A and B are shown apart, each in its own frame.
Chain A
Amino acid sequence: MASANEPVEGASAGEGPVEGASASEGPVVMMDYFMHLEYHEVVCPIVRRYAASLMAGKILGQYSPKSGLVYVPPRSFCPVSCEWLGEDHLIELEDRGVVTAFTIVTPVQYYGQEETEPFAKASVLLDGPGGMLSLQDILEIPPDEVRIGMRVEAVWLPEHERNTDEIGNRSWGSAAGAIVGWRPTGEPDLPAETFTEKVY
């Protein structure tokens, strides 16, 4: 056994550091590691139904009789009343509603960030049976004019341009590929105070 700090003589490729081009002379203080992971997840049945309804120009939700809550997109169960929800709990929702909360995001640059201009994301409470779509894009109005109580309606892509492949199991309230966003209807605003509780 060679003594601990002498490079081993003998047939090894050479003694001590091997000559050869090394990128830079100074000490190495950083190490890069490029993580790349791909996930291919089966779209669950209820999201498939939701995506299909969007292709047909309709927004499907699920109503929970026990809790009285409406979930959109539908989730197959109600986490509040802990009851499983099936076909007969599906309901068709309105494509009009009111902005209950919004955020004007000034995009911060990070790897993969494509946004450069401030954008508004809003929670839209749908008319009729209800249902709350979050993180929706507001169109045809500058971000700083978005306000609570504003009446909005969905802006659908033409049927032949719709493509809901992007809708996966975890796209919170996404209607990507069918609804481009929500535009003001021009109707008078509803009083903002009624929504301070429904900030969701």
Chain B
Amino acid sequence: MSAQDIAIVGYAQSPSWERAELTEVQFLFPVIADAIAMANIDRRAIGFTCAGSCDYLSGQTFAFVSNLEAVGAWPPISESHVEMDGAWAMFEAWIALQHGDIDIALAFGSGKSSPGDPAQIYPLQMDPYTLTPLGADPTSLAALQARALLDSGRITEREMAEVAARNRHDAIGNPYAQVSGEVDVGALLATPYVTAPMREHDLPPFSDGACAVIMATAEKAREICENPVWIRGIDHRIEIHQPGMRDLRESPSTATAGRGAGVGDGPVDIAELSVAYTHQEKILKEALGLGDGVKINPSGGPLTANPMMATGLSRIAEAARAIQRGDAKRAVAHATSGQPLQQNLVCVLEGDS
């Protein structure tokens, strides 16, 4: 990777709440403080900050301005904001670190879905002329994708339920998961369709939450962190918007981003993928060329905690945590944006050898 080697030296997540009592900035504040504490740096050592959030989630035209308060932007800081998942904010901060004039950057994502109804808000993400007026919601678009995959024979409804059961099992003991437990696949399959061919367990929970990640250049990382998690590659791509002009069974943008991030350049122990709908695990696994030996979503993934605008960055934090815990040597993290899986970011992380 030609870019200067950069490492994750700190990260933090909030729990994932179905309905947070605190405001977004109030629950973001301790997450940023914890990430800074983990990186054991002074807040002023941060050379660049990038935020990810979405005004529409909280229904306020300048909601992202209040998030600046959680960063403590006084005296003034060098900062920017993307109206996207925190994973893209991390990409922008990772680029800023390659300039050579700063050595520590903070990226974070935060979102509060509980005040609004995502099924009514998210159609605004779609083409304003031909799709928004139909109320084209994320669940329906994911269901079109699931049907296409089922019709192709590459997956069965039972295999979808098995993904849900495995994720909930793996989420047991994960303090950041909102949903967890042992469930019987047969019992799941007996439940009614919500939006056919998907049932309740095929869908993500509604979550409020935040995630922050701190990165440092190689020299600074070695100075402040015993086991930095190296970012070997990040790449992100987008696909055509109109669902009828795409092959929903595939994710070419994930495949391209995976090559760009160098997924295939070495063995992969675990992958934290933004699988918000059970059938998408198969699409993403195959797009990234991940074999059956790769443990997918050991944290439980978005099917057990899905705080919008933070869920993609949370995959990167969970992958970094797994490496630092010694559960993995080399990991892939994936974030997505747009429905379904229209835009995808892939990041390859590696522990110190």
Contact = CB atoms under 8 A, between A and B. Distances in A.
Give yes or no for direct A-B contact (beta carbon below 8 Å). yes
Interface of A: 31, 33, 35, 37-42, 44-46, 75-77, 79-82, 84, 169-170
**Which 4 residue pairs are nearest across A and B when measured between Cβ atoms?**
A79-B69, A41-B115, A82-B72, A39-B59
A84 B116 contact: no
Contacts of B70: 77, 79
Given A31-B129, A33-B133, A84-B29, A42 B19 contact: yes
Contacts of A42: 19-21, 114-115
Given A31-B129, A33-B128, A33-B133, A82 B33 contact: yes
Contact of A80 (B59, B72, B128): B72
The listed residue with most A CB atoms (<10 A of its CB), out of B72, B73, B128, is B72
Contact of A82 (B21, B43, B68, B129): B43
Contacts of A40: 115
B69 A41 contact: no
A79 B121 CA distance: 30
B74 A79 contact: yes
Interface residues of B, number: 34
Interface of B: 19-23, 25-26, 29-30, 33, 43, 56, 58-60, 66, 68-70, 72-74, 112, 114-117, 120-121, 124, 128-129, 132-133
Contacts of B114: 41-42
A38 B26 contact: no
Contacts of A44: 21-23, 26
A31 B132 CA distance: 12
A33 B19 CA distance: 30
A39 B116 contact: yes
Contacts of A38: 116-117
Contacts of B60: 170
Contacts of B128: 33
A38 B29 CA distance: 26
Contacts, number: 62
A79 B66 CA distance: 10
Contacts of A45: 21-22
Nearest to A67: B74
Most buried by A among B19, B29, B59, B112: B29
Contacts of B116: 37-39
B207 to A, nearest CB: 14
Contacts of B74: 79-80
B20 A84 contact: no
26 contacts: A33-B132, A35-B124, A37-B59, A37-B116, A37-B120, A38-B117, A39-B58, A39-B59, A39-B116, A40-B115, A41-B114, A42-B21, A44-B21, A44-B26, A75-B69, A76-B22, A77-B26, A77-B29, A77-B69, A77-B70, A79-B69, A79-B72, A79-B74, A82-B43, A84-B29, A170-B60
Contacts of A41: 58, 112, 114-115
Contact of A39 (B33, B73, B115, B129): B115
A76 B19 CA distance: 19
Contacts of A33: 128, 132-133
Nearest to B60: A170
Contacts of A81: 72
B15 to A, nearest CB: 15
A44 B133 CA distance: 34
A37 B25 CA distance: 22
A131 B107 CA distance: 32
Contacts of B21: 42, 44-45
A81 B21 CA distance: 23
Contacts of A39: 58-59, 115-116
A79 B60 CA distance: 20
Contacts of A169: 23
A84 B34 CA distance: 13
Nearest to A48: B21
